[in-house]
Structure 1
Amino acid sequence: MPEQLSFDLPSVPALGRADFMVAPSNAVAVAMIEAAPAGKLVLTGPEGSGKTHLAHVWATKAKAQIISSIDLNEADIPALAQRSIVVEDVPEIAGDADKQNALFHLHNLVLAEDKALLLTGRGAVRDWGITLPDLASRVAAAPSASLELPDDTLLAAILAKLFADKQLTPKRDLIPYLITRMDRSFAAARGLVDRLDTASLAQKRPISRVLAASLLDNEAKSAR
């Protein structure tokens, strides 16, 4: 029987997604999401850190609609404001006056209707590039939940889950090896598992530490 990996981590269910794993690097943000919805909340974090996943968790609790910030100027703002709303990727509208104005009006109408508002984006709010002063001040005043880069425990669990999603069972020594060699992000974990799966199929070799070492060494040489 293949060896199975097990990680004793609690989880939060998400819309149509596998459980969101909780660890010290994201526990505060998860707790704030679970405590919502009420008023407004900002969720920040690096690429692939789980912002969209947690936004779906929040949206389920709030019975909220999810919209991308880049679609705001084409939306019916008064209609949107009749329910709680998630606006994803707010930094994407930096420098776009029309979309920032639409978000400003949506912010005010949602709260006036006693609904809840969640805004997501990479990095600190001060770096989002919001140029509309009234909007910038309102976003800055919102409570902020921040997702951090994963620690070893969480990164190991994510790698195990990504392998399991592909019905792959890596050798027990592979994940600890990968953690010491890879970039510390969810996006990097996802990409690495995809590349290992592709290499395994192409070379007709099992996913192992030997295959991983060959892949990473070749990628390092190509990057020079």
Structure 2
Amino acid sequence: MRGDLADRLRQLAFRFPVEERRTLDEFLPAPCNEAALALVLAWPAWPAHVAVVSGPEGSGKSHLLRIFQQIADAPLWSGPELARDRPPWERIGPQGAVAVDDADRTRDPEALLQLVNAVRERDGRLLLAGRTPAARWELGPPDLRSRLRAAHHVAIDPPDLALLEALLVKRARDRGLDLPPAVVRYLVARAERSFAAPGRLVEALDELSLASGRKVGMEIARLALERAGAGATGEAER
């Protein structure tokens, strides 16, 4: 059966697009992200004009920026696309708020510096997100590095098991998959302990389920662990 299922997966010719809902109601609060969520909800009562949220792939940084965008009427920009193609104050929202995702990947540091200065001059608030703390961003010029060191920084910590289970269920629900509780426990006990693991697992589960025409069960879950590279390390090693 296992070989037949793998063969049917190879015949899968399409995948459905997935639209993830990024609202406050859809955010999954947990001890690892409570400080970052509290920062966003405390706007505009921040200890500095610029705040930075850092965390690894899949940790919810972009989701938090979407929430900030909604509650602060803040334009949301992408770091790699940020450029000096317009005056920086035109990027700031009507309430003095603005956000930049993937700020650590900014290709034009001068554009980011201009935005930081414009926010400070207008007593506004700028929320940045990156994979690592701002002190580790390799961005010039020196004035920008100084501004970033002075920013208020909040890190998203590694997820606990409860959050990993919740993320797995949410990612599956976004794809229209219903995971039995036993399957959720089985996967989380054996998967990599990272924010990215639930997304990779659900993608594999979805593909396997579509290819086989079957609901997700233990057989598909075992194959998904292998396909997602999650390890199947076993509970004894945890």
TM-score by length of 2: 0.78
1:78 alignment counterpart: 89
1:141 offset after TM fit, Å? 0.9
The residue type paired with residue 76 of structure 1 is P
Aligned partners of 1:89 and 1:121 also within 8 Å: yes
Aligned partners of 1:91 and 1:122 also within 8 Å: yes
Say if 2:115 is the partner of 1:106: yes
Root-mean-square deviation over aligned CA pairs: 2.0
Give, in whole Å, the separation in 2 of the partners of 1:132 and 1:71: 18
1:154-173 pair list within 5 angstroms: 154-173=163-182
The residue type paired with residue 105 of structure 1 is Q
Give, in whole Å, the separation in 2 of the partners of 1:107 and 1:17: 26
Q: Moved runs in structure 1, 4+ residues, more than 6 A?
A: none
Give, in whole Å, the separation in 2 of the partners of 1:151 and 1:180: 11
Give, in whole Å, the separation in 2 of the partners of 1:217 and 1:90: 33
Count matched residues: 203
Give, in whole Å, the separation in 2 of the partners of 1:189 and 1:175: 10
Q: Deviations over 1:85-125 (max 9, x none)?
A: 101111112xx4xx111111111111211221111110122
* Selected match of 2:32 from 13, 25, 38: 25
SS at match of 1:19: coil
Give, in whole Å, the separation in 2 of the partners of 1:60 and 1:80: 16
Show structure 2 runs of 5+ residues with no match.
Answer: 1-20, 230-238
2:234 alignment counterpart: none
Give, in whole Å, the separation in 1 of the partners of 2:75 and 2:166: 30
1:119-134 pair list within 5 angstroms: 119-134=128-143
The residue type paired with residue 88 of structure 2 is I
Show structure 1 runs of 5+ residues with no match.
Answer: 1-13
TM-score by length of 1: 0.82
Alignment CA distance shift 1:178-1:42 (3 Å): same
- Percent identity of the aligned residues? 34
SS at match of 1:58: helix
1:74-223 pair list within 5 angstroms: 74-81=85-92, 83-93=96-106, 96=107, 99-217=108-226
1:188 offset after TM fit, Å? 2.0
